[in-house]
Amino acid sequence: MISASILNGDLAHLAEVAELVRRAGADALHYDVMDGCFVDNLSFGLPVLETLRRCTPMPIDVHLMIAQPHRFAERFVKAGADLLSFHIESDTDPAETLRIIHSLGIPAGIAVSPETPAEAVLPYLPQMQKDDFILVMTVRPGLGGQAFMPETVPKIRTLRRIMTEQQLPLHIEVDGGINAETAAICREAGADYLVAGSYLLGADDPAAAVQSLGKITD
Ligand code: DX5
Ligand code: ZN
Write out pLDDT tens, residues 28-68.
999 999 999 999 999 999 999 999 999 999 999 999 999 99
The minimum-distance atom of ligand 1 relative to the CA of 34 is: 6
In this prediction, residue 217 carries a pLDDT of 46
Distance 144 CA to ligand 1 centre (A): 4
Q: What are phi and psi for residue 32, nearest 5 degrees? A: -95, 115
* Protein residues with CB under 6 Å of any ligand 1 atom: 5, 7-8, 30, 32, 63, 139, 141-146, 175-178, 195-199
Distance 70 CA to ligand 1 centre (A): 22
Task: State the Cα–Cα distance between residues 196 and 179, nearest whole angstrom.
Answer: 7
Q: Which residues are catalytic?
A: 32, 175
Distance 197 CA to ligand 2 centre (A): 9
In this prediction, residue 108 carries a pLDDT of 98
The answer to whether 19 and 56 are in contact (CB under 8 A) is yes
Among 2, 40, 89, 139, residue to substitute to test ligand 1 (most atoms within 8 Å of Cβ)? 139
Superfamily for 2-212? Aldolase class I (3.20.20.70)
Whether residue 131 has pLDDT greater than 50: yes
**Domain ranges across the chain:** 2-212
Distance 5 CA to ligand 2 centre (A): 7
pTM summary value: 0.97
Closest Cα to atom 9 of ligand 1: 144
Mean pLDDT value across the chain: 97
- Buried (b) or exposed (e) across 172-199, using 16+ Cβ within 10 A? bbbbbbbbeebbebbbebbbbbbbbbbb
Residues 186-202 pLDDT 10s: 999 999 999 999 999 99
Among 61, 90, 135, 146, residue to substitute to test ligand 1 (most atoms within 8 Å of Cβ)? 146
Please give the average per-residue pLDDT across 150-178, as a whole number. Answer: 98
